[in-house]
Structure 1
Amino acid sequence: MQPRHRRPRTALFSALVASVAALVAGLIAWPGADRADAAPAVFVHPGVTVSKGQLDFTKAKLDAGAQPWKSAFDQMKAGKYADLNRTPKPRATVECGSYSNPNYGCTDEREDAIAAYTHALAWYFTRDERHAKKSIQLMDAWSAVIQDHTNSNAPLQTGWAGSSWPKAAEIIKYTYTGGWANEGRFRTMLRNVYLPEVINGSNSNGNWELTMMEAAIGISVFLEDKASYDKAMAKFRTRTAAYIYLSSDGALPKTVPSQNLDTREKIVKYWQGQSTFVTGLSQETCRDFTHTGYGISSISHIAETSRIQGQDLYGTDVGERLRQALGFHSKYQLGEAPPSWLCGGSVERGLGPVTEVGYNALHTRRGIAMTNTQKLTEQQRPAGSNNLFVAWETLTHAENPS
């Protein structure tokens, strides 16, 4: 019902309304105000971390016997994840405590998901149908059984496994013509078991939420769920800004509002006691490089998925934070002694096979010099798997311009 008496709007009042509306819109959109992170009008498939163009580039290199792709493929084929005799080990409830203790199905789930992705890649590169069928068998086994994740590590565990499942599913659904009868059941599994566990994020260390958003975004692509994609991407943008520091952020790192890190003391504690903030530093640098690597990896995977879907995050602050974090940690991973102001003069190395995707995007495609990252990436080739959610990225992304 319209109000009985309506006062005419003055020009000043109209301008004020417009200004407030613009401010609110800006606040809602931060940090993706350019909407470079919005879900595409039509999703691209396969489109989770690796595209058809990238797969075709690698296949051509393999057909020619070129390096480093041949050695990367040989490494993958020789490992346990490509075993055609692998027997899936699904559980109705996967229970994972801190550091996977207790471990009731945690390793089995993660490794079956990586194996499904591995066989999907092996199918594409060899056209041996046995690999496609094995990937389907693994996905079907879990979609027939799993109902829940429990205990303290449930969100992280779901993120790890949930990052690999859609990568496998995307390749199988959109490149294998032999049929997948239980695809609908697999979709239901992702929708009902995985997505609700990860979509709302986490206030734990930053690698948790980044991995969870990687899973949520990959699942959203496979499900073609624009609302979940946008929700996960907004959380990802906020968390990335709060995970890797740039000097342009100011005297203190950005924070995730829900964590209420509203004093310097709280921020320093959350940053593992680190009180000197320099460009490229991560929230978990002074914890160890391994967990930092998890966060860096998820940032690169999400940026890559977003690029495939038509939205380039590498040209935003995401790309700059990724570039700086890669360079900063690669330098110390290569052996340079840390200064006394950094983690008390001692860092725990172990970055893992996590540099290839970001390095390829920023160096190969965008032409940015990344001396330390290049040295570490080439030194670590062929990059294998971290047995959690990272696998075969020299094979899929080395020098890949697609």
Structure 2
Amino acid sequence: MIRLHRPLLLALTTALIAATAVLAVAQPSTAGPPPAPAAFKHPGVLVDKAQLDFARQQVLAGAQPQKAAYDAMKASSYADLAYTPKPRAIVECGSNSNPNYGCSDERNDALAAYTHALLWYITRDDRYAKKSIEIMDAWSAVLRDHTNSNAPLQTGWSGASFSRAGELIKHTYGGPWTQRVRFETMLRTIYLPEVRNGAGCKNGNWELIMTDAAIGIAVFLDDHAAFNKAISIWRGRLPGYIYETSDGADPKAPTTCPMDTRDEIVDYWQGQSTFTNGLAQETCRDFGHTGWGLTAATHVAETAWHQGVNLYGEAGKRLTDGYYFHTRLENGAAVPPDLCGGTVKLGLGAVTEIVYNHYHNRLGQQMPTTLAYTEAKRPAGANYFFAWETLTHANNPR
């Protein structure tokens, strides 16, 4: 038997403990959400200060593609200093926003609040910050509920943009915002309860959009429990939205929508019965809704990244394969005969700036197909719950 002197034994034990700790950090567990950071980084909902400063520098220098993106934003109706919000106490949204009682108004006002917050940061013109605050205050003064069948999705669309606007104003504007607490209370009591627990067996874009709003609201409110809950929902949904062959013969069921049979899975995946890397649950529905799901999933990962949680790494190839699968077809590749009966409905949208920025500009991964699609869609505009991402994320690995 080999006997070790006590000092040597202690040294070896200490080294083993240290090595185990390093390994635990390098290989995060997927068994449950990591703890939220002890202190949230602000601003840190979708964009952080370094990214904002880079975008501002590019615009002031007239550098592309940010200058063209800024000009498009400035020319939009969302940027009008005469913009008038249209709040209401009850926003009622049925399927396909029918009925539409305040649905479009709320989405547009939330996008306008975020647009003016970005304009404030780029220009340092107080009028834009004050307009953003005016819009947020108008809604926090009257909104009481979202109703009808599309209420969760509507809350996700609007909550995502409102949380980004509030985050920028709260943490970059030094002027008064006397009703900030009222706005925070609105997000905490009206928006967050509607989106924080996922969407069950609705199409996956619902849950991902709702989680996009939930994680943004969580950071804005410094709500650690809500942040961890959003990560848990995302982890349970992403494998149920984008297929990888490593999942097995069939896609996994989302954790919020248990399914027991292959027939249930095929039906949920719009009747598609053959699966390949990057196929999405809504591919055979249409690429528009699929684009919403993909970009919402990316938004969650981007916000988590700013808070020190690497969901991008956990996603592995899943996100990049999802974008490659769909941008390849958008770029003109032939539709395989076993995909959606040989016919797909294109229209992915300008949803690729952030994912390309992370995997290519931060990590150096080559994504030529996604790049070609991204460049063809520049400058990305504003729609439903995403806005001006060429301005904020193009070639911006900060």
TM-score of the superposed pair, with normalisation by structure 1: 0.90
**Structure 1 residue 321: Cα displacement:** 1.3
Q: Could you tell me which residue of structure 2 aligns to residue 127 of structure 1?
A: 124
Counterparts of 1:343 and 1:364 in 2: how far apart (Å)?
A: 33
Identity of aligned pairs, percent? 60
Task: Give the aligned CA root-mean-square deviation in angstroms.
Answer: 1.2
Q: Give the AA of the match of 1:389.
A: F
Deviates more, 1:137-146 or 1:330-339: 330-339
Do the aligned partners of residues 61 and 248 (structure 1) sit closer, same or farther apart at CA in structure 2, a change above 3 Å counting? same
Residues 1-400 of structure 1: matches in 2 within 5 Å?
Answer: 32-33=30-31, 35=33, 37-203=34-200, 204-316=202-314, 318-386=315-383, 388-400=384-396
SS at match of 2:136: helix
* Contact in 2 for aligned 1:158/1:197 (Cα 8 Å): yes
**Structure 1 residue 241: Cα displacement:** 1.3
Instruction: Map Cα deviations across residues 211-241 of structure 1 (whole Å, 9 max, x no partner).
Output: 0111111000011110111112101110011
Counterparts of 1:214 and 1:319 in 2: how far apart (Å)?
A: 19
* Contact in 1 for aligned 2:243/2:276 (Cα 8 Å): yes
Do the aligned partners of residues 312 and 260 (structure 1) sit closer, same or farther apart at CA in structure 2, a change above 3 Å counting? closer
**Structure 1 residue 258: Cα displacement:** 4.2
Instruction: Map Cα deviations across residues 56-97 of structure 1 (whole Å, 9 max, x no partner).
Output: 011111111101100000000000000100000000000000
Instruction: Map Cα deviations across residues 18-75 of structure 1 (whole Å, 9 max, x no partner).
Output: xxxxxxxxxxxx983375x431111000110010110001111111110110000000
* Contact in 2 for aligned 1:272/1:284 (Cα 8 Å): yes
Counterparts of 1:81 and 1:94 in 2: how far apart (Å)?
A: 20
Q: Give the AA of the match of 2:322.
A: A
Q: Which runs of 5+ in 2 are unaligned?
A: 1-27
Tell me how many residue pairs correspond in the alignment: 370
Do the aligned partners of residues 162 and 115 (structure 1) sit closer, same or farther apart at CA in structure 2, a change above 3 Å counting? same
SS at match of 2:91: strand
**Structure 1 residue 351: Cα displacement:** 0.4
Q: Give the AA of the match of 1:202.
A: A
**Structure 1 residue 160: Cα displacement:** 0.3
SS at match of 1:314: helix
Instruction: Map Cα deviations across residues 250-292 of structure 1 (whole Å, 9 max, x no partner).
Output: 1011112442311111100000000011000000000000000
Counterparts of 2:351 and 2:255 in 1: how far apart (Å)?
A: 28
**Structure 1 residue 336: Cα displacement:** 1.5
* Structure 1 residue ranges (4+ consecutive) displaced by more than 6 angstroms after TM superposition: none
* Contact in 1 for aligned 2:327/2:373 (Cα 8 Å): yes
Q: Give the AA of the match of 2:88.
A: R
Counterparts of 1:223 and 1:268 in 2: how far apart (Å)?
A: 39
* Contact in 2 for aligned 1:31/1:238 (Cα 8 Å): no
Do the aligned partners of residues 380 and 258 (structure 1) sit closer, same or farther apart at CA in structure 2, a change above 3 Å counting? closer
SS at match of 2:146: strand
Q: Could you tell me which residue of structure 2 aligns to residue 401 of structure 1?
A: 397
* Contact in 2 for aligned 1:92/1:147 (Cα 8 Å): yes
TM-score of the superposed pair, with normalisation by structure 2: 0.91
**Structure 1 residue 323: Cα displacement:** 0.6
SS at match of 1:144: helix
Counterparts of 1:308 and 1:97 in 2: how far apart (Å)?
A: 35
Counterparts of 2:29 and 2:231 in 1: how far apart (Å)?
A: 10
Q: Which runs of 5+ in 1 are unaligned?
A: 1-29
Q: Could you tell me which residue of structure 2 aligns to residue 4 of structure 1?
A: none
Counterparts of 1:290 and 1:257 in 2: how far apart (Å)?
A: 24
